[in-house]
Structures are given as structure tokens and as C-alpha cells.
Amino acid sequence: MNVDIRYSPWGGRKTFFSAEGLFLLRCTGTGDMIVSSYGAIERRALGQGEVLKIDTGHIVAFEENIGYQVNKVGGWKSTLLSGEGLVATFTGPGTLWLQTRSPADFIGWLIPQLPKQQS
């Protein structure tokens, strides 16, 4: 197996405001790669010029040749204060892999389920 994984500590302005992280991993070579996600992983192939907008919390991986851009949905105030309102726009051709659930949604569900501390 010949796999080259390179860590990029700075994803540029595209990932700076994304709560999902400030880095991208570039993986090249032949062989198997194990990837973990929250929920199932869905493979999406985009045709030439086809566009897909997706919440940044659902991105697992994408091919290097696919175009992408991270944009805010609401105003800057709501985006910065809540961490919500960021979407990635992918433009084909290319393939991307998405997780079916968002870790932020899971945490939002989990916190109210935790036992309350009694005084």
C-alpha cells in the first residue's frame, strides 16, 4: 500500500470561520483508507457544473479537483455568535463524501438528556 497523508495546518479563509476545524488532510496514493464519521457516509458524484450546497458539519471528504467555497447563510452577527449559517458550495465534476448526521446536532440533542445536578 502506498498512501501519502499530508497535514495542512491552515485551510485559508475558506475554513477559518468554520466551527468544524481549521485544517484539511490531503490523502493520495493507492490502497484502502479508513474514515470515521457521525452517521453513515454517503457518496455523491457531481457532474460537470453541477452544484451542491451542504452544511459544513456534514463534510467528510472530497476530491481535490472539485471546486468548493464556504459561505455564510445569514448575517455576520448570527454567523459569528452562533457558529451557524455556514454552508459549503461544491461545484463538479468530482466526488464528495458526506456524513448523514451532524455532530453539533447530536450534542444539541444530548445535553438536555443529561441528568441535572441537584442542589
pLDDT at 18: 45
Per-residue pLDDT of 34-83, as tens digits, reads 888 888 999 999 999 999 998 888 888 999 899 988 877 766 555 555 55
pLDDT at 42: 94
Whether pTM > 0.85 for this model: the answer is no
pLDDT at 75: 64
Yes or no: say if 3 and 28 are a contact pair by the CB < 8 Å rule: yes
pLDDT at 82: 52
Mean pLDDT, range 87-96, rounded to an integer = 93
pLDDT at 88: 87
Yes or no: say if 70 and 57 are a contact pair by the CB < 8 Å rule: no
Q: What are the structural domains, with CATH classification, of the chain?
A: 2-108 (3.60.160.10)
The SS3 assignment for 45 reads strand
